[in-house]
């Protein structure tokens, strides 16, 4: 009987250690995946915000209202919810468009993950209307590059 008790006792200890190891491994994997989710969401939101303000800035300074609508529509078409748009504004000189986005991370991501910068992602992007002078200089540079010697 004492052999059986010892054998069951050692099996119980092994099962407890195995359970602890599995739970610890799950926490490590959850932490890694949570950090990947945070970083990839941050990069995606930044890219969408930058592209949106560039698309909207095309309408500046003539149509600031259209610039804001285009920027908002672009971010919504690319996976940002309407309630994640904090603000989209045109500066007083009608040459600069700024958008601010905020995404709250799901609780299941942030609950057990250590080392995240925060429980939300905040992104700001800004673009200006390029002046005609700069646009013409850029077009001339493109022409020189495409038709240069040896082409």
Q: For 103-126, write each residue's pLDDT tens digit.
A: 998 877 777 676 677 788 899 999
Backbone angles phi, psi at 59, to 5 degrees: -90, 0
Q: For 13-54, write each residue's pLDDT tens digit.
A: 888 888 888 888 887 887 888 888 888 989 999 999 999 999
Distance in Å from the first CA to the final CA of the chain: 93
Residue 146 makes CB contacts below 8 A (sequence gap 6+) with none
Mean pLDDT of 69-79: 95
């Amino acid at each position: 009987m004492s052999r059986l008790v010892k054998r069951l006792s050692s099996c119980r200890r092994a099962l407890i250690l195995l359970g602890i190891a599995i739970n610890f491994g799950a926490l490590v994997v959850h932490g890694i995946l949570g950090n990947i989710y945070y970083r990839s969401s941050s990069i995606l939101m930044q890219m969408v915000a930058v592209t949106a303000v560039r698309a909207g800035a095309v309408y500046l300074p003539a149509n600031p209202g259209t610039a804001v609508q285009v920027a908002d529509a672009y971010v919504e078409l690319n996976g940002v919810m309407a309630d994640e748009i904090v603000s989209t504004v045109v500066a007083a000189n009608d040459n600069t468009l700024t958008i601010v986005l905020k995404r709250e991370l799901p609780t299941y991501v942030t609950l057990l993950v250590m080392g995240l910068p925060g429980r939300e992602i905040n992104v700001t992007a800004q673009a200006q209307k390029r002046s005609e002078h700069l646009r013409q200089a850029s077009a001339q540079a493109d022409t020189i590059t495409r038709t240069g010697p040896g082409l």
